[in-house]
């Protein structure tokens, strides 16, 4: 048995994948109280609302089940390192966020679990904080690389840094299976109830589409799947895109393609103007439920209590920041494969 504590657990994407992969996740720790309902409603694990900076190695050891192996997992908030974060100016004010990666390393040193795993944005590898994290894992065999999530059955073009480490010997993240089937938007969300902009599924509060202005409704109707705003009549093009600086952002105000993976799901993917987040066929942006499914959360995953209203800004942020569930499953399989190799 592998007993796990998930740091920066959020809504439970990594936790849910690990559990589905056979790992006993005993607790998730996060500072955001808005994660509690979804985390505990969908996972047989305890949610601990706590600042990671105040967590100690002793605290972690008290949570693990000592009858088997121990795993420390987590995905520290990544906005300071991402392309989006640098564009928004978050990097210059990110010391506290950088410290969270350092605290992850501190906890690995203090608690000394058998295994460690981290998922994050690829840009993290270019920063000293990542090198220091690797140094903190002295005594572990460490594997890390930037993976293409679409090769692991995630229907979006998402690149992520994955690290796995073991005190028992050499370890690696399992390679993708040799399947010729690329996961697509059609395969993920085509079964959901069709909606117009501003409409909601009466049976699922998360399957609600944001309203569109008259201008944006004209824009999306002029958009072909996979096309760009450069295909529009001049009267529809935003002023910011007519400037030289706007020419480098052709992906905004775009539609997804049915038979291709989605673009990377972000914290703003529910908004038509925030990227290529237009539905392939219906004249609207994707819903929160569609974003969650593209993050490989099961369609039955509960994010809010029955009767509650979905808050786009809150749930969009939490869904966009989640670790895709399928990646969590592969991380779990990697550790069990590692143990199988050690036994043999």
Active-site option among 4, 9, 35, 78: 78
DSSP β-bridge partners for residue 5: 27, 72
Q: Which two tokens stand for residue 275?
A: 């990227």
Total length of the chain:
344
Long-range contacts of 49-56 (CB under 8 A, 24+ apart): 52/7, 52/8, 52/100, 52/103, 52/104, 52/107, 53/99, 53/100, 53/103, 55/7, 55/29, 55/103, 55/107, 56/107, 56/110
Q: Which two tokens stand for residue 212?
A: 């569109």
Q: Which two tokens stand for residue 50?
A: 């706590």
Distance CA 294, CA 288 (A): 10
Distance CA 96, CA 139 (A): 27
DSSP β-bridge partners for residue 142: 165
Which three-class secondary structure state does DSSP give residue 331?
A: helix
- The answer to whether the CB of 64 falls within 8 A of the CB of 26 is yes
DSSP β-bridge partners for residue 82: none
DSSP β-bridge partners for residue 74: 7, 118
Which three-class secondary structure state does DSSP give residue 144?
A: strand
Q: What is the DSSP letter of 167?
A: S
Torsion of CA 71, 172, 182, 299, to 10 degrees: 0
Side-chain half-sphere of 231: how many Cα atoms within 13 Å?
Answer: 16
9 classed as catalytic = no
Residues known to be catalytic: 78
């Amino acid at each position: 048995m592998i007993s796990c504590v998930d740091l920066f657990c959020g809504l439970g994407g990594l936790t849910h994948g690990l559990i589905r992969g056979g790992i006993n996740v005993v607790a998730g720790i996060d500072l955001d109280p808005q994660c509690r309902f979804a985390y505990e409603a969908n996972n047989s694990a305890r949610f601990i609302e706590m600042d990671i900076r105040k967590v100690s190695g002793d605290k972690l050891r008290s949570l693990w089940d000592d009858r088997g192996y121990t795993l420390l997992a987590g995905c520290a908030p990544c906005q300071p390192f991402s392309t989006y974060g640098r564009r928004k100016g978050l990097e210059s004010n990110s010391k506290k966020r950088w410290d969270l990666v350092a605290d992850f390393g501190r906890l690995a040193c203090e608690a000394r679990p058998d295994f460690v795993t981290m998922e994050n944005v690829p840009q993290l590898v270019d920063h000293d904080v990542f090198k220091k994290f690797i140094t903190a894992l002295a005594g572990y065999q460490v594997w890390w690389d930037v993976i293409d999530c679409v090769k692991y059955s995630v229907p979006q073009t998402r690149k992520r840094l994955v690290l796995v480490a073991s005190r028992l010997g050499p370890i690696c993240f399992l390679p993708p299976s040799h399947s010729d089937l690329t996961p697509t938007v059609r395969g993920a969300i085509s079964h959901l109830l069709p909606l117009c902009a501003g409409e909601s599924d009466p049976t699922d509060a998360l399957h609600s589409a944001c309203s569109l202005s008259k201008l944006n409704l004209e824009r999306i109707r002029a958009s072909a799947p996979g096309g760009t705003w450069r295909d529009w009549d001049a009267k529809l093009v935003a002023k910011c895109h007519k400037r030289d600086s706007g020419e480098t952002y052709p992906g905004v105000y775009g539609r997804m393609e049915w038979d291709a993976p989605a673009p990377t799901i972000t914290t703003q993917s529910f908004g038509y103007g925030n990227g290529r987040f237009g539905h392939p066929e219906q004249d609207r942006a994707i819903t929160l439920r569609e974003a969650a499914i593209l993050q490989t959360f099961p369609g039955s995953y509960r994010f809010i209590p029955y009767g509650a209203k979905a808050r786009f800004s809150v749930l969009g942020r939490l869904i966009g920041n989640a670790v895709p569930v399928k990646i969590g499953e592969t991380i779990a399989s990697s550790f069990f494969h590692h143990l199988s190799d050690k036994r043999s």
